[in-house]
Amino acid sequence: MSSLPTPENPLRIGTRASPLAMAQAHMAMAALIASHGLATEALEIVPMTATGDRIQDRALAEVGGKALWTRELDAALDAGDIDIAVHSLKDVETLRDARFHLGAMLERADPRDRLVVREGLEAASIADLPAGARLGTSSPRRAAQVRRLRPDIGTMLLRGNVATRLAKVAGGEVDATLLAAAGLDRLGMHHVGAVQDAALLLPAASQGAIGIECRDDDAAVRALLQAVDHAPTHGAVAAERAFLAALGGDCRSPVAAHAQWLDGGILRLDAEIYSDDGADHAAGHVLVHGPGDAEALAERLLGEASETVRRLFQR
**Catalytic entry in 53, 83, 91, 175:** 91
* Residue 64: strand, helix, or coil: coil
164 in Cβ contact with 112 (< 8 Å): no
Give 3 or 208, the one with higher predicted confidence.
208
Share of the chain above pLDDT 70, in %: 92
**pTM of the entire predicted model:** 0.91
pLDDT per residue over 143-166, tens digit each?
Answer: 999 999 999 999 999 988 899 999
- Predicted confidence at residue 250, as pLDDT, reads 58
Give, to the nearest 10 degrees, the angle between helix 19-36 and helix 162-170. 140
CA distances to 93, 229, 237 from 102, in Å: 12, 10, 12
Is 97 among the catalytic positions?
Answer: no
Domains defined for the chain, CATH in brackets: 11-108+208-229 (3.40.190.10), 113-195 (3.40.190.10), 241-306 (3.30.160.40)
The pLDDT of residue 208 is 97
Q: Smallest Cα–Cα separation from 313: which of 257, 249, 267, 270?
A: 249
Instruction: List CB contacts of 172: < 8 A, sequence separation 6 or more.
Output: 118
- Check residue 208 and give left, alpha or beta (phi > 0: left; psi -120 to 50: alpha): left
Which of the four pLDDT bands, split at 50, 70 and 90, describes residue 95? confident
Return the SS3 of 113: strand
**pLDDT above 60 for 63:** no
- Residue range 177-234, pLDDT digits in tens: 999 999 999 999 999 999 999 999 999 999 999 999 999 999 999 999 999 999 999 9
Helix, strand and coil percent figures for the chain, each rounded to 5: 35, 25, 40
